Amino acid sequence: MRHLPLAALAATALGLLALLGTTDVRAGTVQRLGLADLAERADLVFEGRVLAARVLEPAPGRIETEYTLREDRALVGAACPLRVFRLPGGVLPDGRGLAIAGLPALPVGADVLLFLSREGSRGTRMPVGLAQGSLRIVTLPDGAKRLVGSAAGLDFVGDAPTAVPAGPGIDYVSGLAEIASGIAARGVEAGR
Amino acid sequence: MSLRRTTLGVLVALAVASTVAAHVRLTHPSNGNPLRWASPGAIAITVNATGSDDIPDGSHLPAIQLAIRAWNDATGTTATLVENTSPGSRARSDWEADDLHTVIFDEDDSSGYFPNGTGIVALTPVWFNTSGVISDADVLFNGSDFTFTTEGVVNAFDVQDVATHEIGHLLGLDHSGWAGATMYPYVDPTVILHRSLAGDDERGLRDAYPTGTYSTIAGRVTRASDGGAVAGANVAALDADGRTIAGALADNSGNYALKGLEAGTYTVWASPLDQPVAAGNLGGGHTVVTTFQSTAIASATVGGSGTTNVGNGTAGVGADAAFALGRNTDELPLRIEPGGSGIYSLHGTGLAAGSTLAASDPDFTVVVIAWNNTVVTFQATAAPGEPMGHVDLRATSPSGDRSVLHAALEVAAVDPFVIGVSPTSGTLSGGTFVTITGAEFRAGARVILANQVYVDGDIGGCTVVDDSTITLTTRASAAGVWDVVVQDRTGSEARAGSGFTFAALPQIASAFPVSGWSGGGTLVRLRGTDFVAGTTVRIDGNLQSGVTVASATSLSFSTSAGLPGGPYVLEIETPGGATASTAFSYQADPDPAVIALDPPSGTTSGGQIVTVTGANFTADAEVVFGADAETGLGGTGADVVFLDANTLQVTTPAMSAGTTNVLVRLALTDQATVATAAFTFQSPSTGGGGGCSIAPIEGPRGPFDGFTAFLPILLALVWLAIGARRPVPVRVRVR
């Protein structure tokens, strides 16, 4: 084995963070998107901590999860200290549920970087690129931050430049730079 | 696997999953129960009638029907999708209703799942209860953001390919780690090989909804270094030929079960689920460890049933290595034909010179052209006659590290080829016998024509006569110019672009009457097929007025004036220019007309004297009760006495009870008219209000009982006596 002690610590930390819970069923057919792509497409891009998740059934058959996040940084969209939005899917207290294929669940307590679409016709948002639009912000024992694909157990999804970082993820600062390039592209397109 | 990931790659998911059997199943997010249909034997599925704006009307139907069929063709499973074709169900848009499991294109984000820019091509919401029983599932295509195709349009998503994948989710299956599996999570517009199921897909269905008897190989993935369990390993069983047969994901204790195996000898491999499919492509609840390298861990010979437990097998997995073959950006699987050869490239890590690359099936030759660290280019050649299926590619580094890309090569039959179609057009109502000529036609082929699919061997399907000929008889189909598509069971297809036209090609089965007054005004009714709105009618080239198309089989018009004579050509012409013709003659004298019948009713036994008043009657007039108003056919002729041009006296025939038409036809000219619902035949028991019955009444016979037997004879004699004093009538018996 060629693992270094620090690496082992990092791996353990990532594993424990993953244990905070990921209960998503992912299966949709989706375009592959990179961070810049996500930033260019999203209506809202922000960092925050998931404070609460509440599953609702506003109408028969419509099961939605209302998330409340403390917003730490807004990258796209107006700042909002307490961000509340709904995603389709979830499991009701009676065990009934709706799994939207490919849609990530946001574990309470997790620090996340989200790329959300505008509200759809029913008032819910969608992570752009489904699971690709939901990344965990992981702080390693050495204090370094990494952006990790939101699903626990994620590993690299390819090494193509457009692939979303997963598994060990990518350096947070590098990720923000890529996101910034996507935001800049939005400006260029908006100015056309 | 890269060294970087060696240092960081131990990721542990919430460990709620127990043993994950062959393939990967969708699970309840909270308790890990596999999602499944409670009554899999007849899972109703409805294809919404409204397709996509991107594709010809109705062409989504055969594409999705073939996707459904791909799953229904799986063996060893009780799961069957039953298409609900009722127009009412197909028209429903309330896809969330529990009683409707539908495939639908969302063209305007009415679902709320497709706000602009999400990048979501299609998805499958699945509703379930706490035990994992699916109560509803639907497939939604994002028609507002993406372009779909049923015609092989470049850069558009193939409806059949996407639908086959999503229907797998509808059945409760998660993604597969096999590049060649339908449940492989990456869709590429240029790849249509996921239209047909791979062994892993079929065994996933067997696992979820088993029937029959199959074998299972069970074991545990451990590390060679310390014997520790390896969670979430991607385990594959290869048969004695080196073909990839079944897959499994080890649970968080390293246990795996390869189910649905036929009798035979298998080699079991374990590989890290890191490329091109990773744990992130799977549903929640799976523990995945990727810090090891591909290793052959066991072999077993199994019978037709039971579980063979190989324990820890013959070898633990090797240590992690900075060596990996395949990326999700590769266009997988790599297609190869029996006896064929191709140049391919695969991306990866550590693909350095000195490495080797081989296929798991020795009948396939792999010659590397270039190693370039992140990409390897090679030529693969398949021996002639190789059966369909999947083959692993195995890369070995100079230091002996190994990376296996499971099911990377898909052996697909040579594409069929269409040379010609004869005839090249047919009627909307179907019934056209079509012969398709070409090459590489094989048993089980499907022909897609307009909004219909014809499957070899099905009743009403097509027939593969030989490898160069397919025949079929068209069904009623949507109008338009359509590609003629011959598709192999594997999904490979040949296409004769714009090869067949379904159009209104009217045919006239009957015209009634076939003759009318030259002054015009005769109501002529045509029966036939493919009558369409906008059809024009000409007699001897002269446009006729008042054309009414009641249906595709019924048309009427009122004649314009013409010159007496004929027969002239009566021609109809659709807006598309298709024509059909019959004959019509003009007569110098006006058409007969019926004003009234007196009395308007009589008994079913017939014999009723009825006076028909009207106009333009002649001595050759025929009267028929019960004739069809549109064709003049049928019915029963009556004895007719011509009294004058305005009066006929007829004797009703015996007929069953009911109201009937009465036809008057002039035999010499064929001019005719029909008085619709003009006469009612009544049963004696209900007629007249007296309750008179000719049935014998039991009981004491009275003094005049015997008299009734002679009453008809007596009446006939009286009638003859009266008639003898009147002018001799012309009597015509009409049949």
Distance CA A137, CA A147 (A): 5
Highest mean pLDDT pick, A126-135, B310-319, B432-441, B699-708: B432-441
Helices and strands in chain A, H and E counts:
3, 10
Calculate ∠ Cα B64-B70-B73, nearest 5°.
Answer: 140
Contacts of B281 in chain A (CB under 8 A): 26, 157
**H-state helical runs in B114-218:** 159-170, 199-208
The residues, ordered by sequence, that sit 6+ positions from B501 with a Cβ below 8 Å of its Cβ are B424, B425, B426, B480, B481, B482
Name the minimum distance, in Å, from the CA of B543 to any CA of chain A: 53
Query: What mean pLDDT, rounded, does chain B reach?
Result: 86
* Nearest to B364, CA basis, from B397, B396, B342, B332: B342
Instruction: Please give the average per-residue pLDDT across A50-74, as a whole number.
Output: 94
Domain boundaries, chain A: 5-190
Question: CB distance A123–B327 less than 8 Å?
Answer: no
* Nearest to B419, CA basis, from B482, B487, B495, B501: B495
- pLDDT at residue A8 greater than cutoff 60: no
Contacts of A18 in chain B (CB under 8 A): 11-14
The alpha carbon torsion through B530, B531, B534, B540 (nearest 10 deg) reads 110
What is the three-class DSSP state of A165?
A: coil
- The answer on B159 and B45 residing in a single domain is yes
- The answer on B225 and B309 residing in a single domain is yes
- Tokens coding B393: 């590619």
CB B234: neighbour CB atoms within 10 A? Answer: 28
- The answer on B550 and B473 residing in a single domain is no
Name which of A6, A18, A61 is nearest B11 (Cβ-Cβ).
Answer: A18
* Mutation site for A-interface testing, chosen from B109, B123, B171, B329 by largest number of A Cβ within 10 Å: B123
B712 confidence band (pLDDT: 50, 70, 90): very low
- The answer on B357 and B237 residing in a single domain is yes
- The answer on B11 and B74 residing in a single domain is no
Residue B276 forms contact with A (CB below 8 Å)? yes
Q: Which of residues 66-105 of A touch B (CB under 8 A)?
A: 88-89, 91, 94-103, 105
- The answer on B656 and B512 residing in a single domain is no
Residues linked to residue B125 through DSSP beta bridges, in sequence order: A100
Residue pair B160/B150 in contact (Cβ under 8 Å)? The answer is: yes
Q: B498-532 pLDDT, tens per residue?
A: 999 998 888 999 999 999 999 999 999 999 988 98
Distance CA B141, CA B362 (A): 41
Instruction: Please give the average per-residue pLDDT across B495-499, as a whole number.
Output: 93
Question: CB distance B280–A157 less than 8 Å?
Answer: yes
Name the minimum distance, in Å, from the CA of B321 to any CA of chain A: 9
Q: What is the pLDDT of residue B252?
A: 84
- pLDDT at residue B697 greater than cutoff 60: no
- pLDDT at residue B342 greater than cutoff 60: yes
CATH number, domain at B145? Answer: 3.40.390.10
B40 confidence band (pLDDT: 50, 70, 90): very high
* Mutation site for B-interface testing, chosen from A2, A20, A23 by largest number of B Cβ within 10 Å: A23
Residue B359 lies in a domain: yes
Name which of A32, A43, A154 is nearest B11 (Cβ-Cβ).
Answer: A154
Domain that holds residue B434: 417-503
Residue pair B2/B12 in contact (Cβ under 8 Å)? The answer is: no
- The answer on B231 and B137 residing in a single domain is no
- The answer on B597 and B583 residing in a single domain is no
Residue B185 forms contact with A (CB below 8 Å)? yes
CATH number, domain at B678? Answer: 2.60.40.10
What is the three-class DSSP state of B652?
A: coil
Q: What is the pLDDT of residue B671?
A: 97
Query: What mean pLDDT, rounded, does chain A reach?
Result: 75
Instruction: Please give the average per-residue pLDDT across B532-558, as a whole number.
Output: 94
Q: What is the pLDDT of residue A23?
A: 27
Instruction: Please give the tally of structural domains in chain B.
Output: 5
- The answer on B118 and B65 residing in a single domain is yes
Q: Which of residues 121-150 of A touch B (CB under 8 A)?
A: 121-132, 149
Out of B545, B560, B587, pick the residue that ends a domain.
Answer: B587
Instruction: Please give the average per-residue pLDDT across B179-203, as a whole number.
Output: 78
B629 confidence band (pLDDT: 50, 70, 90): very high
Residue B204 forms contact with A (CB below 8 Å)? no
* Nearest to A123, CA basis, from A80, A45, A50, A65: A65
Q: How many residues can be counted in chain B? A: 735
A142 confidence band (pLDDT: 50, 70, 90): confident
Name which of A120, A126, A152 is nearest B14 (Cβ-Cβ).
Answer: A152
Lowest mean pLDDT among A33-37, B439-443, B472-476: A33-37
Q: A172-186 pLDDT, tens per residue?
A: 999 999 999 999 888
Distance CA B40, CA B641 (A): 71
* Mutation site for A-interface testing, chosen from B118, B161, B191, B332 by largest number of A Cβ within 10 Å: B118
- pLDDT at residue B247 greater than cutoff 90: no
Residue B283 forms contact with A (CB below 8 Å)? yes
- The answer on B336 and B264 residing in a single domain is yes
Name the minimum distance, in Å, from the CA of A111 to any CA of chain B: 17
- The answer on B571 and B517 residing in a single domain is yes
- The answer on B374 and B250 residing in a single domain is yes
Q: What is the pLDDT of residue B503?
A: 86
Three-state SS sequence of A53-105: EEEEEEECCEEEEEEEEEEEEEEECCCCCEEEEEEECEECCCCCEEEECCECC
